Amino acid sequence: MPAEVPVLEALRLMSRVEAEHVQRQREQWPLRLKVFEQNPSLLPRLVAGGTETERAVSAAVARRIGVEPGTSGYPELVTAVAMAAFRAAMMRWSAADGRPAPADLVDEAFSQLAAGLPNP
């Protein structure tokens, strides 16, 4: 991604690609969520995977903006916020039985973030 693309926009685009992947597997995702709901013992594995992803994305953001990981807090914060926006979009998509498309919900969540999360 070109350096002139702002970090939040780059994270939106990355999240959108992942949401499109989820859409292509729309029959499998509700089943996956149900497995986690019915088997709470699997949640630590899910959380661990999310933590690893968050660290990797934070490190990539730090490289992108030219800071050492853990020194400014920005890479970790923007990554955590972006991942929360993605999770919220996926939860909305799951609760709405797959409509609208997850990528559209990701775009909506990131637009709200970019606007500073004003009251609706």
Alpha carbon distance 17, 22 (integer Å): 9
Let me know if residue 120 belongs to a domain. no
Segment among 7-16, 18-27, 91-100 with least mean pLDDT? 91-100
Mean pLDDT of 28-38: 73
Exposed / middle / buried, residue 15 (Cβ in 10 Å: 0-12, 13-18, 19+): buried
The answer to whether the predicted template modeling score (pTM) of the entire model surpasses 0.85 is no
> Average of pLDDT values for 93-109?
87
Mean pLDDT of 17-43: 79
Helix axis angle for 74-95 and 7-24, nearest 10°, is 30
Is 1 a member of any domain?
Answer: no
CATH of the domain at 102: 1.10.357
Structural domains of the chain, count:
1
> Is pLDDT of 50 > 90?
no
- Which residue range(s) make up the domain with 69? 7-114
Mean pLDDT of the chain: 85
Give a yes or no: residue 105 inside a domain: yes
Contact predicate 78/8, CB 8 Å: yes
Q: Is 2 left (phi over 0), alpha (psi -120 to 50) or beta?
A: beta
Confidence grade of residue 103 (pLDDT, cut at 50, 70, 90)? very high
